[in-house]
Amino acid sequence: MSIFMHVLLRSPHMQFIHKVLVAWGKVGPDLAEFGWRMYEIWFTQYGKGRGPQTSSGFEHVFVGEQNVEEDKIEGLHNWIQFWREERAGRLNYKGYIGALTEEDERLIKVRFSWNDDDKAVSTLLVGTSVAFQFAWASCAFLSAAGGECCESGIMLGDIGPVTVKTFSWDIWGHGHIAGSTVLHSAFLEA
């Protein structure tokens, strides 16, 4: 995870987001300190309910997780992981729910089964890099009060307008990312 964070911090996406967050007064100018904060908010484990601390924001967004207490799949918002799981035969694509527009196939909502859960639904921003997804979610989380972001009207390049959402999980008085997604307002009703 340390190597992953080191590589991410060198990406143009994270370099840009760091400069933006410094200008907004949300983080300090020290890149190493910023990297430690990114590591902390994404990889600190938390528990669901009274269960053990077995999940993290990174797992929820980029890997996918199963909520054992509620017996349902949560997260899995990264198109690369979705593709890898489908290719390995562990995930079964069950159908397309919708997209931002009829012509645009980059922001989609899909149904799938994964680990015998037939009720899984996720929104995926298709074709983006992990660095890009990590950067926008980090920026949204750190710029929102308490990490809970729900900002509409956001343009991600020429994709949008979308609603960017981040969720916070409080651990020892500090907020950590519990999840993030990009939504079109119509997806909120689905």
Instruction: List, for residues 155-185, the tens digit of each pLDDT value.
Output: 777 777 788 887 776 655 556 555 555 544 3
Where in the sequence numbering do the catalytic residues fall?
A: 60, 77, 119
Give CA–CA dist 171/28, Å, rounded.
22
Q: What is the pLDDT of residue 176?
A: 54
Which H helix or E strand runs over 102? none
Pair 62, 109: CB distance under 8 Å: no
Q: What percent of the chain has pLDDT over 70?
A: 75
Domain residues for the domain of 145 are 2-189
Q: Contact at 8 Å (CB) between 52 and 58?
A: no
End-to-end CA distance of the chain: 35
DSSP letter for each residue of 8-74: HHTSHHHHHHHHHHHHTTSS-S-HHHHHHHHHHHHH--EESTTS-EEE-HHIIIII-EEETTTTEEE
- Between 38 and 44, whose confidence is greater? 38
What's the token pair of residue 20? 């933006």
Q: How many domains in the chain? A: 1
Pairing of strands 149-156, 117-125: unpaired
Gap between the Cα atoms of 174 and 85, Å rounded: 32
Mean pLDDT for the stretch of residues 54-68: 80
